[in-house]
Structure 1
Amino acid sequence: MAKRREVMAGMAALPLVAWAAGALAPAFAQEAGTLDGDRLATSGGDVIIHPVSHASLVLGYDDQVIYVDPVGGAELYAELPAPTAVLITHGHGDHFDVPTLEAIAGGGIPILTTQEVFDKLPEALKANATALANGDEGSLNGLPVAAIPAYNTSPDRLQYHPQGVGNGYLIKFGDDIVYVAGDTEPTPEMLALENIAVAFLPMNLPYTMTPEQAAEAVNTFKPGIVYPYHHRGSDLDAFEAAVEEGVEVRRANWYPEGEEAA
């Protein structure tokens, strides 16, 4: 049974300052800001969970601001604190966008990603990037990160996310682990996970999981909290109804401009 960790409902705010001007400043000048979102109470302090859009999110922790799969243009992030680090799960356009990265993550921001994405980065970003293979461990500014395989398992979907290419990530905040699955179906590696405080799981066909597959996975590895994300066009009611007691389903606003059914 997974450990259950407290996530506070509603909106909490974590005041965070943007990078100072100079060598560490991103190319896109973001203002000092406040990161709003749900709060996960951990042994090391609160984690702020801020959905951005579809598969993009920001995690705030102490003085760290981690951008996960930032895409959509720098303007989408203009009112958020600048990143201190970036995670990228794989090379599809709804997870990886070079112009967005160049604008928000220039000037020495560390990037953890896959070999596929690393090979596509321009030299200025590649200098501060590290490629993790499935199963590798690394860190972002001292926060432990592990790369979990993310891939399709259904025969008619194998071409979308082949095994060995994409990563999900386990990020450890204090004693608590946040799992960002990336684009994947239920895999043996996912189903074997334990002690996950918060999980972000995708569900949309034909690329990732059905709501029923996602619920079955949740019922197996039992995170304390699950956020369905990357779910455009999926039946979240069916997903939530199939999740067993003991796991809290959190719905966030991943499609703020009414594009969920697109």
Structure 2
Amino acid sequence: MRLTKKRHSCVRLEKDGATLVIDPGGFSEEDAAAGADAVLITHEHPDHFDEGRVRAALAAGAEVWTLRSVAERLSAAYPGRVRTVGHGDAFTAAGFGVQVHGELHAVIHPDLPRITNIGFLVDGSLFHPGDALTVPDHPVDTLLLPVQAPWSKISEVVDYLREVAPGRAIDVHDALITDLARPIYDTHLGNLGRAEHGRLAPGESADL
């Protein structure tokens, strides 16, 4: 498959003429979900789910797989094309095999209630955890690594990378990292993560 990084936590995957988009949110490009055959959404936070962009993709013929809190906002207008999934489910979307792992968003603060969050393992090789440090019970070739968030610190990201032990990690959830800070993240993750680590600029692609 070919992976194209979009801004923040959104990626586009292409295979055999089909396109799968994960987490087209408000920090991503306006056209992040344009032309998608299928859209996966990990949770309801606006940096992962922009309702207008997803509705535009649905209107153009896309299908959506997501958790209940997001599906309830979309399914009435698009019956049969918005599917609710959760931990342990498996399905095929636009020709990609997908397994669902995880149930809860990472803890932001103990005083804030935790929302649901699911991660997607695509074609048994690429894992997008959303806003959680979920370790799937399956080997991961490519981990889309959330490198910076209000709910994490670099030591936790390093430990997560070590625990998943992917063949490679590619940064996501990185829109708030300044250019000054990026070399710090690159150094720590590259030296301590014990896995091949890299990042793609928005719009840059890699064949996996």
Matched pairs, number: 197
Find 2:25's aligned residue among 66, 71, 87.
71
Q: Once the two structures are superposed, what CA deviation does each residue of 1:109-140 show, in whole Å capped at 9, x if it has no partner?
A: 11110111001116233530111112222221
Distance 1:132 1:52, change over 3 A: same
Alpha-carbon distance, 1:67 to partner = 1.1
CA contact (8 A) 1:52 1:58 kept: yes
The equivalent residue for 1:238 is 188
Alpha-carbon distance, 1:154 to partner = 5.1
Alpha-carbon distance, 1:183 to partner = 0.4
Which 10-residue stretch deviates more, 152-161 or 118-127?
Answer: 152-161
The equivalent residue for 1:217 is 160
How far apart in 2 are the matches of 1:212 and 1:116? 31
CA contact (8 A) 1:82 1:104 kept: yes
The equivalent residue for 1:177 is 125
- Determine what percentage of the aligned residue pairs are the same residue: 21
How far apart in 1 are the matches of 2:35 and 2:81? 16
The equivalent residue for 1:249 is 197
Higher RCO by CA contacts (8 Å cutoff, separation 6 or greater): 2
Counterpart code for 1:125:
Y
What is the TM-score normalised by the length of structure 1? 0.66
Distance 1:241 1:181, change over 3 A: same
Pair 1:85-2:49 in alignment:
no
How far apart in 2 are the matches of 1:102 and 1:73? 16
Q: Once the two structures are superposed, what CA deviation does each residue of 1:193-226 show, in whole Å capped at 9, x if it has no partner?
A: 332111102132423x322212212212211110
Distance 1:194 1:122, change over 3 A: closer
Pair 1:200-2:144 in alignment:
yes
How far apart in 1 are the matches of 2:23 and 2:106? 22
Counterpart code for 2:66:
T
Alpha-carbon distance, 1:161 to partner = 4.1
Q: Once the two structures are superposed, what CA deviation does each residue of 1:49-68 show, in whole Å capped at 9, x if it has no partner?
A: 10111011101111110111
Counterpart code for 2:119:
G
Alpha-carbon distance, 1:70 to partner = 1.3
CA contact (8 A) 1:150 1:181 kept: no
CA contact (8 A) 1:194 1:221 kept: no
SS class of match (1:239): helix
Distance 1:90 1:58, change over 3 A: same
SS class of match (2:125): strand
Alpha-carbon distance, 1:97 to partner = 1.2
Structure 1 outlier segments of 4+, above 6 Å: none
Alpha-carbon distance, 1:180 to partner = 0.6
Alpha-carbon distance, 1:255 to partner = 9.7
Please, which runs of 5 or more residues in structure 2 have no aligned partner?
A: none
How far apart in 2 are the matches of 1:215 and 1:193? 19
SS class of match (1:117): helix
Alpha-carbon distance, 1:93 to partner = 0.4
Pair 1:228-2:171 in alignment:
yes
How far apart in 2 are the matches of 1:132 and 1:142? 17
Q: Kindly name which structure, 1 or 2, has the bigger radius of gyration based on alpha carbons.
A: 1
How far apart in 2 are the matches of 1:122 and 1:73? 24
What is the TM-score normalised by the length of structure 2? 0.81
Distance 1:156 1:178, change over 3 A: same
SS class of match (1:116): helix
Counterpart code for 1:170:
L
How far apart in 1 are the matches of 2:200 and 2:25? 18
